[in-house]
Chains A and B, each alone.
Chain A
């Protein structure tokens, strides 16, 4: 029996890949099923800023033709060829608009592809479109988008996390099997946690950032978004590697054993016996919801019962991580966003009155083009970097970065991976924290230490609290991304070792609109 579109979109990417290879399904069927789903639910979810149906179907048809041709052409297809993907709209794409969620880049067409997009095109994955985000990736709820908030498929009155709420919601709502995100302080992992999906922040430099619109360059990292750990690993394998266009990207030789390991293979090794798992003392307790902590404890119990060794690790400087992050990130962002001046590209707005000098045009352009959160961070960053305050703020924050790295080094002497809840709370109602920047910033408390230290992290579903997903985060030393896949895949298997469908399949049915 031919699979119906609904059963097509509910497959994992690995299953889609297998069925494409055997010819049980075609990429055109698969891609059309996702486009139909987007048409039916995205008016509600608003995960996409731009949908590129024609381009996606063209890629799909070409893959189907190669497969049908057989021989070398079919054999050379990448395993993910024909599996559709969505791209966070912070990552530039030729032929499709890139907005960064900002009015500043409304209508802007990148003249080049990001390296990760090039890799996706080379693997011949149909690109479904560009996903919603907090403007310039600044936020934890996707409410700071100039194109309206994205809604959480688990409860459409709640936030999908941020900044990559569009990618996470698209994957959770079966609008796409895979997506790309970016993570500067948790923008892949926290949306993953609150939407019941999987998201990885690779080691800093593990994936080329060429073509990712810069927010905070010493923290930004592109990574995969998926429904299962294996799917995330498959996408990670595709996008990893050195890029001569990104001088901060890691060379193969810099990895242990001189090569980048297969993350997909790591995700199939599901045995935790003997794995030393460190529970970070500072990332639990006050500020974390009781339901989140219950799921976290149950996850630890499962891991312990299956042979993992659970130890507690002390990372005292983490108490200062949030403060350090909210000085370093705005400082770098204020510098990176200076390029939006209305001269060579992007929006230009003229002052309503007075002399028409370039200074005043820039002022009017940036006043109209940027939203409140972006302005807040630019001003905060300008303050932290200004004469007289630089040492006290930016300088002190950089020292804390050193202390956090030292805490991680000490912790990883006692543990192979570290674990914590990904986010202190489940998804909160839309508009709940919109007027309280500090409350919003606290969402990132468990995710930012990894960015400050440049190490890899993953969020994997850990069950439900009050009907909403809870995420569990694993962290590993730099270049040991394979370890987070091992630990997360093991936990995923343990938590799904029952008669119930996996958590991602339990998302409530969304009302479909026929158009």
Chain B
């Protein structure tokens, strides 16, 4: 049997920022149990001496000079924003408990306020 409980899935959903109803949690728990049972065999295949591979190519860091290149204008950057105000992204409250929306800090040229 799988070690995944409904409480585990609820915790994972919180970590992943996905709100789930009771019915969704039930369904996800049983689906995940089946999937995890089928993939857990991977533990038996490789011994301790086998190195892990995280990437198909040997990667090296790539550097370039830190110069100003093409950047989006505030207008372009905000074109897809769900809400914007005064050249900034507008988001719901982060710290305060009341229901008022506040404007988050966004990097932009000149601070046009």
Select one of B9, B17, B39 contacting A363, CB under 8 A: B17
Residues of A378-410 whose CB lies within 8 A of B: 378-380, 382-383, 386, 392-393, 395-403, 405
State A323–B16 Cα separation when bound (angstroms).
Answer: 22
Whether the Cβ atoms of B15 and A382 lie closer than 8 Å is: yes
Residues of A in contact with B, size category: 35 or more
16 contacts between A and B (CB under 8 A): A317-B45, A323-B39, A344-B77, A344-B80, A345-B80, A350-B92, A358-B93, A360-B92, A366-B17, A367-B20, A395-B52, A396-B43, A399-B45, A400-B45, A437-B31, A438-B35
12 further A-B pairs in the complex, CB-CB below 8 A; given A219-B56, A360-B92, A379-B18: A108-B80, A218-B56, A320-B42, A338-B17, A348-B82, A357-B94, A378-B16, A379-B13, A383-B32, A399-B45, A400-B45, A405-B53
State A441–B40 Cα separation when bound (angstroms).
Answer: 15
State A454–B42 Cα separation when bound (angstroms).
Answer: 20
Interface presence of A204 (CB below 8 A) = yes
Interface presence of B113 (CB below 8 A) = no
Residues of B in contact with A, size category: 35 or more
Select one of B50, B56, B81 contacting A452, CB under 8 A: B56
Residues of A71-85 whose CB lies within 8 A of B: none
Whether the Cβ atoms of B39 and A343 lie closer than 8 Å is: no
Residue interface mask B60-93, A partner, CB < 8 A = 1: 0010100000001000110111110000010111
Whether the Cβ atoms of A402 and B52 lie closer than 8 Å is: yes
Interface presence of B54 (CB below 8 A) = yes
Interface presence of A46 (CB below 8 A) = no
Whether the Cβ atoms of A398 and B54 lie closer than 8 Å is: yes
**Contacts A376-B28, A380-B35 hold; do A403 and B91 have CB atoms under 8 A apart?**
no
Whether the Cβ atoms of A402 and B16 lie closer than 8 Å is: no
Select one of A219, A367, A383, A400 contacting B42, CB under 8 A: A400
Residues of B close to A334: CB separation below 8 A: 16
Nearest opposing residue in chain B for A337, CB measure: B16
Residues of A340-356 whose CB lies within 8 A of B: 341-348, 350-351, 355-356
State A372–B13 Cα separation when bound (angstroms).
Answer: 13
**Contacts A323-B42, A367-B19, A367-B20 hold; do A398 and B53 have CB atoms under 8 A apart?**
yes
Residues of A close to B99: CB separation below 8 A: 355-356
- 5 tightest Cβ-Cβ pairs between the two chains A and B: A454-B56, A399-B46, A348-B82, A398-B52, A363-B19
Nearest opposing residue in chain A for B9, CB measure: A379
